[in-house]
Amino acid sequence: MTNDIDTLDALGLLCPLPVLKARKRLKSMAPGTVLRLLANDPAAIVDVPHFCAEAGHALIGQEEAEDHQIYLIRKGK
């Protein structure tokens, strides 16, 4: 595993674009690496955890920033 974190800025994008862009970015990443997803779509609070569970990725962190959410996703196999 690596300590590198890739950031995907999905601010301003509405459902389903934050999850679709995260899926595309994760495909190009090595297993075990972490993607930091920035999103302000209200549906992302439900969509991102569901996507991670369905796709085999681990949602290792979720927090609220001033005007958006930050999700940390560890890529599964």
| Catalytic residue annotation | 15
Quote the distance between the C-alpha of residue 36 and its chain's center.
Answer: 6
Task: Answer yes or no: are the C-beta atoms of 75 and 29 closer than 8 Å.
Answer: yes
Identity of the amino acid at 54: E
Neighbours of 55 (CB within 10 A): 15
